[in-house]
């Protein structure tokens, strides 16, 4: 269970999160949606201790994360933009992360799933954006953690890889893991999410299932339901 209470975050005079209260129950796929700049990454990074809120509290598995780091051993994170060392080879990075994790890692089947074998001896700086994202996915899923947080995981992936990613996410969900995803690809979110939260103007505009959102907005299509929130709010 993840509990967020009265979370405020400002960057200078820009108030990005204006008192977010949120509960994410354990087990299932939870999506964080919202327009560009609505604070999805800020919220995600707050859960990871990478953004320090101005006020408010976050509890992960019962532990207040303020000034804590141990909980991070239970959380896998796929960042929106991975900054890999350019001159390191893919195989070297995988080995290095495995050593750092000091936990059982299973990257072999993931490397096969994402067809990364031909790239293992290539420098990370020479990879295409999509191939880097596949490496990012391998790093995320190779460790067996109960919480998986992904910021725009489909970014740059071709349709076959998106399909593979979806299968992996659903398999992790079936193991009872808590998976938190931010994405603008609504078809992807609709297929995999148990619950969504929609951020708007620093607050939670909606929390519930995709079908509940469709019902509330009186739309049969998820994209139209999201569009109707935005047109109503910004009209």
Residue 174 CB contacts under 8 Å (≥ 6 apart), including other chains: none
Minimum CB–partner distance for residue 17 and ligand ATP (Å): 8
Minimum CB–partner distance for residue 223 and ligand ATP (Å): 16
Q: By CB under 6 A, which span of 9-17, 19-27, 159-167, 188-196 interacts with ligand ATP?
A: 9-17
Minimum CB–partner distance for residue 80 and ligand ATP (Å): 6
Cα–Cα distance between 29 and 169 in angstroms, integer?
8
- List binders of ligand ATP among 126-185 (CB under 6 A): none
The span from the first CA to the last CA of the chain, in angstroms, equals 36
Pick one of 6, 11, 25, 81: the residue that binds ligand ATP (CB under 6 A).
11
Distances (CA, A) of 59 to 47, 181, 189, 213: 9, 18, 25, 27
* Segment (H or E) for 150: strand 147-151
- List binders of ligand ATP among 29-88 (CB under 6 A): 34, 36-42
Minimum CB–partner distance for residue 83 and ligand ATP (Å): 14
Q: What is the dihedral of CA 93, 177, 60, 213, to 10 degrees?
A: 110
Minimum CB–partner distance for residue 139 and ligand ATP (Å): 20
The number of residues that bind ligand ATP (CB under 6 A) is 11
Nearer to ligand ATP, 45 or 143 (CB): 45
Residue 195, beta-bridge partner list: 30
16 binds ligand ATP (CB under 6 A): yes
Number of H helices, E strands in the chain: 8, 10
Contacts with ligand ATP by CB under 6 A lie at 11, 14, 16, 34, 36-42
């Amino acid at each position: 269970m993840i509990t967020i209470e009265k979370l405020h975050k400002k960057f200078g005079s820009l108030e990005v999160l204006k008192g977010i209260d949120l509960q994410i129950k354990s087990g299932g796929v939870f999506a964080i949606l919202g327009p560009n700049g609505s604070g999805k990454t800020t919220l995600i990074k707050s859960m990871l201790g990478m953004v320090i809120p101005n006020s408010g509290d976050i509890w992960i598995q019962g532990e207040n994360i303020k000034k804590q780091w141990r909980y991070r051993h239970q959380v896998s994170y796929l960042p929106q933009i991975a900054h890999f060392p350019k001159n390191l080879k893919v195989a070297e990075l995988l080995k290095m992360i495995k050593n750092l994790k000091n936990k059982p890692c299973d990257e072999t089947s993931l490397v096969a799933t994402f067809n990364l074998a031909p790239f293992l001896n290539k420098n990370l700086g020479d990879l295409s954006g999509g191939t880097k994202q596949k490496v990012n996915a391998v790093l995320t899923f190779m460790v067996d953690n109960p919480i998986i947080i992904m910021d725009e995981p489909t970014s740059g992936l071709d349709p076959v890889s998106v399909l593979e990613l979806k299968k992996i996410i659903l398999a992790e969900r079936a193991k009872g893991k808590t998976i938190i995803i931010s994405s603008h690809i609504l078809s992807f979110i609709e297929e995999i999410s148990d619950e969504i939260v929609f951020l708007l103007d620093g607050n939670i505009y909606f929390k519930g299932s995709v079908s509940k959102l469709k019902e509330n907005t009186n739309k049969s299509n998820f994209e139209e339901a999201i569009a109707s929130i935005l047109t109503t709010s910004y009209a």
